[in-house]
Amino acid sequence: MSNFSNQIRASSSLIKRLKQRMTNPAALMQATRHFTTLEGHRPTIVHKRSLDILHDPWFNKGTAFSMTERDRLDLRGLLPPNVMTSEQQIQRFKADLKRLEVQARDGPSDPYALAKWRILNRLHDRNETMYYQVLIAHIEEYAPIVYTPTVGLVCQNYSGLFRRPRGMYFSAEDRGEMMSMVYNWPAEQVDMIVVTDGSRILGLGDLGVQGIGIAIGKLDLYVAAAGINPQRVLPVMIDVGTNNEKLLKDPMYLGLQEHRLDGDEYIAVIDEFMEAVFTRWPHVIVQFEDFQSKWAFKLLQRYRNTYRMFNDDVQGTAGVAIAGLLGAVRAQGRPMIDFPKQKIVVAGAGSAGIGVLNAARKTMARMLGNNESAFESAGRQFWVVDAKVRNDALSIIGMIIELAALYTQGLITEERENIDPEALPFARKVKEASRQGLREGASLAEVVREVKPDVLLGLSAVGGLFSKEVLEALKGSTSTRPAIFAMSNPTKNAECTPEEAFSIVGDNILFASGSPFQDVDLGNGHIGHCNQGNNMYLFPGIGLGTLLSGSRIISDGMLQAAAECLAEYMAEEEVLNGIIYPSTSRIRDITKEVAAAVVKEAIKEDLAEGYREMDARELQKLSQEEIVEYVKNNMWSPDYPTLVFRRD
Same domain assignment for residues 248 and 295 = yes
Same domain assignment for residues 104 and 200 = yes
The CA distance from 106 to 122, in Å, is: 16
Which H helix or E strand runs over 403?
A: helix 399-404
User: Is the residue at 644 inside a domain?
Assistant: no
Judged against a pLDDT cut of 80, whether residue 576 lies above it is answered with yes
Predicted confidence at residue 99, as pLDDT, reads 73
Predicted confidence at residue 645, as pLDDT, reads 86
Q: Which of 284, 307, 330 is the last residue of a domain?
A: 307
218 is catalytic: yes
Predicted confidence at residue 20, as pLDDT, reads 47
Same domain assignment for residues 508 and 380 = yes
Range of the domain at 379: 316-535
Q: Which of 1, 40, 33, 487 is nearest to 226 (CA)?
A: 40
Burial call 187-225: b when 16+ CB within 10 Å, e when fewer: eeebbbbbbbbbbbbbbbbbbbbbbbbbbbbbbbbbbbb
Q: Which of 535, 564, 584 is the last residue of a domain?
A: 535
Q: Are strands 530-532 and 510-513 parallel, antiparallel or unpaired?
A: parallel
Q: pLDDT category, 39, cuts 50, 70, 90? A: low
In three-state secondary structure terms, 537 is helix
**In sequence order, which residues have a C-beta less than 8 Å from that of residue 569 and are 6 or more positions away?**
582, 590, 593
Backbone angles phi, psi at 346, to 5 degrees: -115, 125
Predicted confidence at residue 148, as pLDDT, reads 86
Average pLDDT rounded to a whole number, residues 201-214: 93
Q: Which range (158-167, 327-336, 525-534) has the least confidence?
A: 158-167
Which H helix or E strand runs over 311?
A: strand 309-311
Q: What is the DSSP letter of 425?
A: G
Q: How far is CA 623 from CA 19, 276, 554, 618, in A?
A: 23, 37, 22, 11
Judged against a pLDDT cut of 50, whether residue 25 lies above it is answered with no
Q: Are strands 455-458 and 520-523 parallel, antiparallel or unpaired?
A: unpaired
Instruction: Determine which one of 116, 131, 142, 218 is catalytic.
Output: 218
Instruction: Return the beta strands (E) in 58-206 as ranges.
Output: 168-171, 192-196
Chain segment 279-316, per-residue pLDDT in tens = 999 999 999 999 998 899 999 999 999 999 999 999 99
Instruction: Determine which one of 142, 147, 569, 581 is catalytic.
Output: 147
**In sequence order, which residues have a C-beta less than 8 Å from that of residue 606 and are 6 or more positions away?**
none
Predicted confidence at residue 112, as pLDDT, reads 80
Predicted confidence at residue 95, as pLDDT, reads 82
Same domain assignment for residues 267 and 339 = no
Predicted confidence at residue 130, as pLDDT, reads 96
What is the average pLDDT value for the chain, to the nearest integer?
Answer: 88
Q: How many independent structural domains does the chain possess?
A: 4
Same domain assignment for residues 256 and 394 = no
Average pLDDT rounded to a whole number, residues 481-489: 94
Chain segment 450-480, per-residue pLDDT in tens = 999 999 999 998 999 999 999 999 999 999 9
Chain segment 582-612, per-residue pLDDT in tens = 999 999 999 999 999 999 999 999 999 999 9
Same domain assignment for residues 482 and 618 = no
Same domain assignment for residues 111 and 146 = yes
Q: pLDDT category, 408, cuts 50, 70, 90? A: low
Q: What is the DSSP letter of 417?
A: T
Q: Which range (21-25, 126-130, 257-261) has the least confidence?
A: 21-25
Predicted confidence at residue 388, as pLDDT, reads 55
Span between the terminal Cα atoms of the chain, in Å = 32
Same domain assignment for residues 348 and 259 = no
pTM of the model: 0.84
In three-state secondary structure terms, 516 is coil
Judged against a pLDDT cut of 80, whether residue 111 lies above it is answered with no
User: Is the residue at 158 inside a domain?
Assistant: yes
Same domain assignment for residues 200 and 347 = no
Predicted confidence at residue 161, as pLDDT, reads 87
Any idea of the CA torsion for 57, 58, 63, 69, to the nearest 10 degrees? -140
The CA distance from 35 to 559, in Å, is: 25
Predicted confidence at residue 109, as pLDDT, reads 54
Average pLDDT rounded to a whole number, residues 71-84: 92
Predicted confidence at residue 339, as pLDDT, reads 96
Average pLDDT rounded to a whole number, residues 341-356: 93
